[in-house]
Structures are given as structure tokens and as C-alpha cells.
Amino acid sequence: MWTTWAASDSVAWCEVLIPGWGFRAFWFLAAVCVQLGGLMPLVVVTWSVRKTSGEDGLFGLQTAQIRGGVSNLMSGKCGGRAGIRKFYKKSNEPLEYLPGVSIVKPLMGVDPLLSENITSHLELRYPNFEIIFCVEDPNDPAVELVESLFRKYPNVDARLIIGGNGNMVNPMVNNFLPAYESAKYDLVWLSTSRIKANTDIMVDMVRKSEDPRVALVHQLPYYSDQRGFMNAIEKVCFGCALGRSAIALNHMGMLCFTGMSYIVRKSILDRYGGFARFGKFLAEDYFCSKELFENGYKIVLSAYPAQQNVANASISIYITRMVRWLRLRLNMLTIVAAFFEPMIECVNLGFLTALSLRYFFGIPMITTMAVHISLWMLLDYFLLRFVQGGPLPFSFLAFIFAWWTRELLTYVIYVKAVLHPRTVKWGINTYHLSLGGHTELLHTPTGSGGSTKRTKSVDLSPITFHEAAPSEIVPPKAVATSTTPQEHIWRHFTRNGYIRSSADRQHLTLVSDA
């Protein structure tokens, strides 16, 4: 009985510990374990109060602010301002000693706030950096926007690469791979189109990258302040649901990474094949960080959340994105995503706890659920204010509605994801996922009938760039609107000469002004 770990023996073991309870004790202990597992991120974040109260960054925020929240509940005092100061604490070290950074920003289409996002990168006050914008389609309206901003900021070391790579299943990797390969600095900041930057964020990420054991510094995804109820839902999702797990797991030294904005050391990543190796996955950020983490490098969380600055958010867009992410996790981390993730949701944990307490002690389920959800919601509210770094742009009542909306949408997202777990739609493309995360692009014929074809990705070696002699440099006569595989698309870049990208998206030539 003591050496066999079957369920029946576990019940018998509980009978020995608590005579007369048997299966009821087994069920109760199992429910307690599940409850503790779900609360572990909150416990760890709270525990970090003592351990990191003197440290800078996001954990400094957690420690001081959670301590202030408890103090507020017990004595009516709040230590919020001190926590915010620790969270956004700046270094007085001169910027001249910071290394160069190559910012890679892939673009596709134009959002009403895209110009603001790009401008925030062009206005960075940093001594040594370059910005490489990437557009896959030469007729993309983002091309015109970027070129207009080049004229507005002529002294910024910036260039635009058009055409992408052409051999990657992952559309984002396909877009930014030539820019990554052409980066002239070892620190490469991958900043997606929806991210708004500032100098403090950049300096913090660079400083954390100076440790030779650190290969990647990333930001907790968050949302900028926008009008509308959807902004509250997005903030609750990223600041609470994702925030509590990401902060706790990173604090414990475990891998929890979302690749919306991060700095990676190119010399380290290239030892393991660079991004060309991970283009066969839609979740290239996860597999990239996993490779680095398993080889002994640190993945560090920045002190500043990533500011997603996107207009026209909607419930349908939110659900589509979350379904896509969950389907990726279902194929990469099947057991975790299918079974454990649902068990750490507030309502599910509360139901199990309430059922157990009613069964054993006769406590009404409604009482347990009310206390459980109220405490959980209150902790989430404190956590959201900590991540926000100041007052929220909506009321506490709006937070309650947004919190419940996100909680209920979780069940809709889960059902939609598990109904078709192997199919993911991203943009205009549809992909087939295999267990382990491998991805195949589904090409559907334009005509009626016919079968769907699958195209697998191809790993690439780094792209070689050829520098032309000064005499070979001539300005482009015009920008082609339609091309054949032998024609080329020219774009002019202030201070950087011209980038010539072939229309077949497989060859790239850098022509330098120097």
C-alpha cells in the first residue's frame, strides 16, 4: 500500500491518515493541490516582496506594490508611489558607454497608430543605433509611410528592406530575416509593428543584456492607454492573466517568454542557426528562447512592459488572436495547454474548492465562490495597477466588467481552439500544425475544386550581402509597381545608400554610400 501509487492505493493511504474519510480525503487533498497550483504565481509574486524589495525593475514593482496593497487592506495605507519609483527607476550611468543596437521592425499594412509607433523609434535618444524596417510586399502602404518618415528624420541611421526571404513558413520571420542578417550590431532588438518604444525601455533592456550569461531580454506584453472597453479587456488580459504567470515564472528562473519586443544577442543566437532555423515554426519566439534557455543562457524580463499601441481593437480580433495562440500551445505543450491551463483559471479553481468545502464541511458553495473570486479579483486589480505604473485609465467598475468579460471569453476561446487544434489562420494564410510545433503552409487553389496543397518550410543559411563600388551606385529611376522575377525594387535610405531586393525574394544586395 505504501509503495504502489495507483489511485486506489492513494485512497487507502488517505483512509489511514484520516480514518473514515477514504475517497473523500483523497478528493479533498487533490483539490487543495490544484488550488495551490493555481495560486502559486500569486504566492511567488507576493513572496518576492522580501527577496527583491531592494532590487530595480518589474520585481521591485511587484514587491513594493503588493506590500502596499496588503498594507492598504489592513491599515488603510498604500505604498503605491514608492513601488512605481522602483519600477521605473533609471540609471545615472552615461549613455555613451552603451553598446550599439540594431532595431528590426517588421511591418505589414498601415494601422492608424503605426506612424506613432515608428516615430517613437526614430526619436530614441540613444548614442549608437540603427533601425531596419522590413516590408514583404513592395506595394504595401507601409512603404510610403516609412519613406515619408525618413524624410522627416534625415539624420537617423535607418533603412527599409523590401521583399523578405521567401523560404520561411512563418510570415514574420520571412519578413524580417534579411534585416536580421544585415544588422551591423550584436544586440538586435526585434520590435513588432504594434510596439511603441521610448529611450528608458531601450536603455533598460541594453543594460540587462550586458551580462554575458544573458542571451535575451524581453518585455511583458501590455497595452497602451486607449479609449474604449476593449482597451480595458486587453489590459486585464496581459496585465493580470498573463502578467501573474510571466512575472512569477521569470522570477523563479523558468522560461516564460512572449516575443513582441525583445533584444537578443546575435552572436549567441547564430551559434544555434539564427532565426533561419526557427522559421519553420509559427511560434519562432518560443523555440528560439527555448534553445537559448536549454543551452544555459539566461532569459531576462525587462523592467518596462511592452506598450502595444494598436487602434480598432475588437472582441472578434481579440478572440481570433487568443485562439491562434492557444492552438499553438496545444501543439507545442499539449498537456500543459489542454489540462493544466484551464485548471489555473479563477472560476475553475473556485468551483473545485467550493465543491470540496461543501462536501467535507458543509460550507455553502456560493460563500466560498464569493470569497475566492473577490480576493482573486482584488489581487488582480493590484497587479494591474503595478504593471500600469500609475492610475488606470478606467474606473474600478470598468475593471470588474473587463475582468469578468475576459474570464468568460476564456471558455469561448478554449472551445474554439480545441475544435480545430491543428489549423491556424494568420493574416491571409492558413497553416497546419503538427505536434511539436512544426508548421506547414496550406495553399488553397484560387479556382474551384482541387485539393489543398501543403508547403513545408526550408531552413536557410545566413544571407550574404555584397557591397558595390562607389562608381556602381546610381539613383533609382523609378519605383516599379509590378515586377517579374528578374526585375528589382529600389528604395533609397538616408545615410545608407540603397537596398535592392529582387522580386523573387531570394536575393538581396546592399549598396553602401561609403
Give CA–CA dist 327/502, Å, rounded: 35
Distance of CA 94 to the CA centre of its chain: 30
How is 406-474 classified by DSSP, letter by letter? HHHHHHHHHHHHHHSTTEEEETTEEEEE-TTSBEEEEE--SSSS---EEEE----PPPP--PPPGGG--
Residues of the chain with pLDDT under 50: 1-31, 33-88, 444-514
217 Cβ neighbours under 8 A, 6+ residues apart? 205, 208, 209, 262, 263, 299, 300, 301, 302
For position 143, what pLDDT does the model report? 93
For position 16, what pLDDT does the model report? 35
Number of CB atoms found within 10 A of residue 421's CB: 18
Helices and strands: H and E segment counts in the chain: 18, 17
For position 479, what pLDDT does the model report? 34
Give CA–CA dist 210/188, Å, rounded: 13
Among residues 56, 204, 285, 380, which one is catalytic? 285
Phi/psi of residue 504, nearest 5 degrees: -80, 0
Domain ranges of the chain: 7-87, 95-313, 331-417
Give CA–CA dist 58/268, Å, rounded: 25
Distance of CA 142 to the CA centre of its chain: 23
**Strand ranges of the sheet holding 195-196, from the earlier edge strand across to the other edge:** 195-196, 306-308, 221-223
Give CA–CA dist 307/191, Å, rounded: 11
Tell me: the pLDDT tens digits for 415-454?
999 998 888 888 777 888 888 777 777 764 444 344 344 4
Number of CB atoms found within 10 A of residue 159's CB: 24
User: In sequence order, what are the beta bridge partners of 113?
Assistant: none
Cell 544586440 locates to 187
Short-list 191, 182, 266, CA closest to 499: 182
pTM equals 0.72
**What's the CATH superfamily of 95-313?**
Spore Coat Polysaccharide Biosynthesis Protein SpsA; Chain A (3.90.550.10)
Catalytic residue status for 285: yes
Cell 480514518 locates to 19
